[in-house]
């Protein structure tokens, strides 16, 4: 099986190497060209490896099995997780209660958007909101921080960010605060084996990770350069299990947080059920939940993040907020060119501002919620 995967990888690498002279003469191996070259190699290799599989959809999430084995049928979830049977409450028009994903509010809540592998931006924004000191230790006291996903891809510092946020989660809890980190589409893409957005500098970050039994079969099918990453993120792997401990949707005080957005479909399906099924999948105990990886899933939807959401979207937003008993939705995922913005009468706040170096390091910004007061915090980012 290894030869089956390495052949298309080698073909892709050979095609790109054929333009090596052009690169050296015209681009002088610039960082931009190296990134373009790597993206082309990984995308072409993924396409070649997918030739005998079902084609990916033309829009929405790309369920490209760059290396992952075909997901198993969804297994019954473990104790405490929701059943995978149809939700009786949704059939009757009622909404399941949210229990596990609901956190009490606090005097001060801050929300942070996409980080995409940029440790400098991560530290900058955490210092901006008063969560950490210059050494990276928690100094936020009872502060509640919610990071809305996409720590992975497009940057070289992914492992450092994952480890930092996990350490801060423990420190914040001891200090009476909270660091709540959500899964975004890029975390789930890595669990699916979609490595198209991995940068050259991040390829070796997980080389020392040994595959857990549940992740071993999939890890053996990837190109050698990505074996450590597959061992880390394929369901059952070391970092997949870390992601399994996080929510996909969370309610904190009177705000609901998700990477992409929460629709009525998700409320009827059950917020706790969604989180439980994602956790089971990442732990290697079930298949990927279709309601999450769908084009309008909570990590993929952009309906509330358009410059001007439709009237229908705003109407649905109001119904979602009413059903969940909250006042606002806070999402990342879609870069806002003008910085943090709100829409639908300030009922949705969009906080992905492209502060990672991939987007040329725009302003470092966060959203602060104090009771009914919502404020944008910002700091002009220094050059890398």
Q: How many CB atoms lie within 10 A of CB 283?
A: 20
Helix axes 31-49 and 2-17, enclosed angle (nearest 10): 140
Q: Indicate which residue of 116, 186, 259, 263 is catalytic.
A: 186
- Among residues 116, 119, 105, 125, the alpha carbon closest in space to that of 376 is found at 125
Distance between CA 2 and CA 225 in Å, rounded? 12
Backbone angles phi, psi at 73, to 5 degrees: -60, 145
Greatest Cα pair distance in the chain: 67
Distance between CA 82 and CA 274 in Å, rounded? 8
186 catalytic, yes or no?
Answer: yes
The structure tokens listed for 278 are: 């994602």
Q: Are 180 and 250 in contact (CB under 8 A)?
A: yes
Active site residues: 186
């Amino acid at each position: 099986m290894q030869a089956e995967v390495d052949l298309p990888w080698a073909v892709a690498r050979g095609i790109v190497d054929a333009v090596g002279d052009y690169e050296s003469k015209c681009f002088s191996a610039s960082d931009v060209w190296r990134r373009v070259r790597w993206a082309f190699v990984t995308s072409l290799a993924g396409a070649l490896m997918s030739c005998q599989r079902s084609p990916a959809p033309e829009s929405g999430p790309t369920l490209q099995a760059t290396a992952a084995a075909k997901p198993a049928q969804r297994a019954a979830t473990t104790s405490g997780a929701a059943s995978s049977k149809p939700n009786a409450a949704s059939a009757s028009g009622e909404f399941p209660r949210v229990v596990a994903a609901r956190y009490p509010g606090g005097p001060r809540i801050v929300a942070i958007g996409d980080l995409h592998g940029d440790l400098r931006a991560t530290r900058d924004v955490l210092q901006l909101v008063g969560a950490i000191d210059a050494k990276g230790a928690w100094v936020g006291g009872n502060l509640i921080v919610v990071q809305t996903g996409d720590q992975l891809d497009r940057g070289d510092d992914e492992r450092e960010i994952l480890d930092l946020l996990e350490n801060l989660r423990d420190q914040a809890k001891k200090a009476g605060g909270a660091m709540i980190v959500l899964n975004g589409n890029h975390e789930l893409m890595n669990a699916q084996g979609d490595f198209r957005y991995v940068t050259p500098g991040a390829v070796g970050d997980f080389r020392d990770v040994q595959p857990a039994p549940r992740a071993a079969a999939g890890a053996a099918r990837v190109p050698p350069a990505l074996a450590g990453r597959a061992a880390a993120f394929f369901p059952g792997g070391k970092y997949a299990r870390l992601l399994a401990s996080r929510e996909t949707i969370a309610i904190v005080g009177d705000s609901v947080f998700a990477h992409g957005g929460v629709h009525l479909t998700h409320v009827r399906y059950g917020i706790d059920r969604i989180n439980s099924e994602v956790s089971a999948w990442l732990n290697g105990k079930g298949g990927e939940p279709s309601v999450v990886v769908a084009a309008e899933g909570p990590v993929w939807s952009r309906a509330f993040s358009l410059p001007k959401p439709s009237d229908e979207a705003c109407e649905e937003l109001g119904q979602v907020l009413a059903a969940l008993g909250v006042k606002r939705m806070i999402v990342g995922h879609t870069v806002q060119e003008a910085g943090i913005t709100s829409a639908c009468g300030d009922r949705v706040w969009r906080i992905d501002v492209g502060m990672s170096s991939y987007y040329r390091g725009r302003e470092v910004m966060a959203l602060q919620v104090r009771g009914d007061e919502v404020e944008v915090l910002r700091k002009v980012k220094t050059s890398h």
